[in-house]
Structure 1
Amino acid sequence: MSIEELHDHDLGLSHDFSMLRRRRLLGLVGSTTVAALAAATLATRAEAAVKTIPEETAGPYPGDGSNGPNVLTTSGLVRRDIRKSFGKASGVAKGIPLTIKLRLITASTGKVAKGMAVYLWHCNRDGNYSLYSKGLTSENYLRGVQASSSTGWVTFTSIFPACYAGRWPHIHFEVYPSLAKATKVANKVHTSQVALPADVCGKVYKTTGYGASKKNLAQVSLATDNVFSDGYTLEMASVSGSTAKGFTATLTVGV
């Protein structure tokens, strides 16, 4: 079983961690051609220039125990696919598929931050949050934890979040030193948010199920959003894909 399949387990967090320790991350052996070496050099330079992503509010629906429910100690949270609820819950979040890829880089050194843990969450296509919103207090979908790989990446399979009244479309995340320490909110080292580009949001919100988002998006901007209005350059994801096949949002996160 790979790290990407960890959503299948339900034997407790201690079991989750022990399983992860036994997994070997497979690296790709690249060629030693001039082109490959040049690409590696450019990547290293790019990483060295990374700035720390701005610290942002976790908002009212973190599910980390700081404001009501705490999902961090629930077995099954360490997973890649966050579209389904886990444990005793069985709900499934519907919407346009979105793969979320974050690459953690230590801003002070420019080196990849491997072995750190990212707890990520966001609203569904109706603008509601599991654990908190009416009818969803028993659900825990669109929440998950991943450990950064040897190259700094964490990847989540999700759905495109809604735009709800007063907020620009976004994704929340917290960074922890390790999976073992990702069970207590007091251990987090960073909290931030990912902004989604306007052109992609416009395309998604024309599709079935996102009707309210189209209206809400027209009434908010990055300049008026209470989180991104002071700057969003380091938080704006690069998004590719289509409404037919789904999208991939990618962001380098300096920690």
Structure 2
Amino acid sequence: MKRRTLLGLFLLPLARAQCPLTPALTEGPYFLRDVPRRQDLREGLPGIPLRLALAVQDHTCRPLEGARVDLWHTDALGRYSGVNAPGVFCRGWQPTDGRGRVEFLTLFPGWYPSRTPHLHLRVEVGGRSFATQLFFPEEVQRQVYAQPPYAERGMPRIGNRQDGIFRADLLLSLRPEGEGYRADFALTLPF
């Protein structure tokens, strides 16, 4: 009887794997739709380079091809382009490739008084949208904000744990790359 039960387990249809969903966070007030489609968001601004590689997938871990991924954040001085500074720096979008991947080259963001440093992401696919934010380890923040042009403003006034939106599961794992950093992150959407 026990042998039959084990054999029955092997005959059951395999269910699709379930990937942990990325937490949705507020899009924030500074999203702008009319920004350039581009990989490099730096526009010659000073700051420490940051390469962000994203894998966009659905809840069954299937890569999502052709999704529009928008990335935006402040410059090194804590300003949002198109809001409190002219231009479209540190903003752009790209479509995901056949493996659900997209990569941006940008700058480590500055900070502003009410928030810990963060990146905004918005993904559109199949008429639906998803927004979240990504955060930085404080030990990396200390290294970055000790260098120019960040050093003139010093460390952020709000740490990760004091930020009302911060989530530890949205903390980037950064590794050195050239003169800056690289981060890889999987975005698992609920649809």
- The TM-score with structure 2 as length reference comes to 0.83
Deviations 1:203-245 (A, max 9, x none): 11110110255332xx3222221211xx331x11111006x62
Would you say the 8 A contact 2:53–2:185 is kept in 1? Answer: yes
Match of 1:93 in 2: 45
Tell me if 1:232 matches 2:168.
yes
The alignment of Structure 1 onto Structure 2 pairs a total of residues equal to 174
Question: Which structure is higher in strand share?
Answer: 2
For residues 49-68 of structure 1, the aligned pairs below 5 Å read 49-64=18-33
Structure 1 Cα separation of the partners of residues 70 and 129 of structure 2? 11
Tell me if 1:171 matches 2:119.
yes
Match of 1:148 in 2: 96
Structure 1 Cα separation of the partners of residues 186 and 23 of structure 2? 12
User: Which has the larger Rg?
Assistant: 2
- The TM-score with structure 1 as length reference comes to 0.63
For residues 11-160 of structure 1, the aligned pairs below 5 Å read 48-64=17-33, 71-72=34-35, 77-84=36-43, 92-107=44-59, 109-133=60-84, 136-137=85-86, 139-160=87-108
Note closer, same or farther for the CA distance 1:215–1:236 as it changes in structure 2 (3 Å cut).
closer
Would you say the 8 A contact 2:173–2:183 is kept in 1? Answer: yes
Amino acid at match of 1:171: L
Deviations 1:84-142 (A, max 9, x none): 2xxxxxxx3220111111111212x1111222110111100000010011xx23x1111
Structure 2 Cα separation of the partners of residues 120 and 207 of structure 1? 24
Structure 2 Cα separation of the partners of residues 245 and 223 of structure 1? 28
Structure 2 Cα separation of the partners of residues 198 and 49 of structure 1? 31
The two structures, once aligned, show a CA RMSD in angstroms of 1.9
Structure 2 Cα separation of the partners of residues 188 and 119 of structure 1? 14
Amino acid at match of 1:175: V
Structure 2 Cα separation of the partners of residues 56 and 62 of structure 1? 13
Provide the identity percentage: 28
Amino acid at match of 2:53: K
Q: Structure 2 stretches of 5 or more lacking a match?
A: 1-15
TM-superposed CA distance for 1:60, in Å, is 2.0
